[in-house]
Amino acid sequence: MAGNEHRATAAAILPLVGGAANVTAVTHCMTRLRLGLADRSRVDDAALRALPAVLGVVEDGDSYQIVLGPGKVARVTPEFAALVDESADEGADTRAEAGAVAAAGAAAPPGTPPSSADALASRGAEMRAARRSRNRTPLKLFLRRIADIFVPLIPALIGCGIIAGLGGLLVNLGWAGGLTAALTAVSSGFMALIAVFVGYNTAKEFGGTPVLGGAVAAIIVFPGVAKVEVFGTALVPGQGGVLGALGAAALAAYVERWCRRRVPEAVDVLVTPTLTVLVPGLVTLYGLMYVAGEISAGIGTAADWLLTHTGAFAGFVLGGLFLPLVMLGLHQALIPIHTTLIESQGYTVLLPVLAMAGAGQVGCALAVALRLKRNTSLRKTVRSALPAGVLGVGEPLIYGVSLPLGRPFVTACVGGAAGGGLVGLFSMLGTKVGATAIGPSGWALFPLLAGNRGLGATAAVYGLGLLAGYGVGFAATYLFGFDAATLSELNADTGDGVSAAARASAAAAASAAES
């Protein structure tokens, strides 16, 4: 039955994005179905948002993204890809037009009161569009490209992280033996070669041949580099890690593009791959590995120092500012930092602190629902988006509830600051909380927790942080989230007749927030 449900979701989405003929690429990340489209104008955004399974839609550069949530997206994507293959030559245009007409009947009535979920969804969509326009700066476009290198690696990081946690739990229980050794091998294999995968994706993202980027990055993890001396010191296999791999593969893509423009076609198949591997390979050995290694070590030292000496303050600032960073698109700069910490230390101490922003958002939403007791439309939006928010998918709550309301977005940030400050305080006291993978947040992060005091203490500190985020986010929103006039306006009874489309539309004004 589950398979039929996922195929039905895929079948409902396909005509609304213009049919199979309009789909040029199908991939997915942690929560989103990512599509390449031939003609953006053939997409029916409103009808997509009206689908019960859709939590949001996001247009990010050349990628059209449909937020389905963790777990679901991994099951819907292959069904969607199969439908595209099956129906590519079967009159997709007709089906797209029929789907759009059918969905139009589900649209919210034009007379919906301004205090309803539809009005907030519209406001959230406008904010999303404005943010997307502001985010098309060279820096933010570059950060988005960097994020696109690491996002495809998240499923493997999650899977290997959970297996590593299970192995560690067995060791703590005194069950060390052949099974734990096998689990260690399974969980560590990917991390031992992660530089190769980063190199592959980097070359692909920067216009090179992916396998050549992977070949250059593989130099970093090759055991034989120990025989190479730089500045009088032998290199260490893995030195430079993912940052070195990123730099090496980006250089390889540049060299390859340079060769393609200048090398005669008759010898291109021999000369271009050779120079693409040789030149960046030597630069990697005699420069990048050393420099990237120093940067990686510096990141780890800085993160440890920050939380050890200024943990409460640092956690307060990071937890409070993460939602605005997401709004500005600057959170993408943290992805390679997380990955570097995981590679070098086994876990990232920053992610659990940043995850507190989602806890503040959940507390805020609960307060909104309680304060606006008569606003049936908005309360239904909160109820539909809250489970996803508890599991760390915050887009529906951000763009459907807190941000369009204005002041509650600020009080949600206050809740995140409180949770982050508490987790940071425990770091100062000697209990570090880290995550062995990036992507999940909220309650979904518990299986990936790691630290220096054992799983029980780590989970307890993280749980206390979540409770602090919930509580302070709730209290700040309940007490300061609305002035009297706004509260009176929004607390009008909008009735129970708000359509499912309206509720889904409010939840679907989502934008980029993946961590």
- Does 89 have pLDDT greater than 60? no
Band (pLDDT 50/70/90 cuts) for residue 377 is confident
How far apart, in whole angstroms, are the C-alpha atoms of residue 249 and residue 74?
Answer: 28
Residue given tokens 């991390």 in the structure block:
191
- Does 177 have pLDDT greater than 80? no
The pLDDT of residue 61 is: 65
Q: Is 29 a catalytic residue?
A: yes
Question: Would you mind telling me the total number of residues written for the chain in this entry?
Answer: 515
Q: What is the pTM of this model?
A: 0.72
Band (pLDDT 50/70/90 cuts) for residue 90 is low
State the burial class of residue 292 (Cβ atoms within 10 Å of its Cβ: 0-12, 13-18, 19+).
buried
Which bin fits 51, alpha (ψ -120 to 50), beta or left (φ > 0)? beta
Of 29, 160, 364, 413, which is the active-site residue?
A: 29
- Does 216 have pLDDT greater than 70? yes
Nearest to residue 470, comparing CAs of 390, 407, 410? 390
Instruction: Find the Cα–Cα–Cα–Cα dihedral 251, 255, 256, 262, rounded to 10°.
Output: 160
- Does 499 have pLDDT greater than 50? no
Q: Which of 126-140, 184-198, 305-319 has the lowest mean pLDDT?
A: 126-140
User: Residue 357 carries which side chain, given as an amino acid letter?
Assistant: A
Contacts of 66 (CB under 8 A, 6+ apart): 13, 17, 32, 33, 35, 48, 54, 56, 57, 58
User: Model confidence over 274-286: pLDDT tens digits?
Assistant: 999 999 999 999 9
Backbone torsions φ then ψ of 435, nearest 5 degrees: -130, 135
Give the residue ranges of DSSP H helices in 329-430: 335-345, 350-354, 356-371, 376-390, 395-397, 403-405, 407-428
User: Residue 438 carries which side chain, given as an amino acid letter?
Assistant: I
User: Model confidence over 358-374: pLDDT tens digits?
Assistant: 999 999 999 999 998 88
The pLDDT of residue 25 is: 86
Cα end-to-end span (Å), the chain: 31
Tokens of 158: 């999650």
Band (pLDDT 50/70/90 cuts) for residue 500 is very low
Between the alpha carbon of residue 109 and those of residues 97, 106, 116, 466, the distances in Å are 21, 9, 11, 39
Percentage of the chain surpassing pLDDT 70? Answer: 83
Furthest-apart CA atoms within the chain: distance in Å? 77
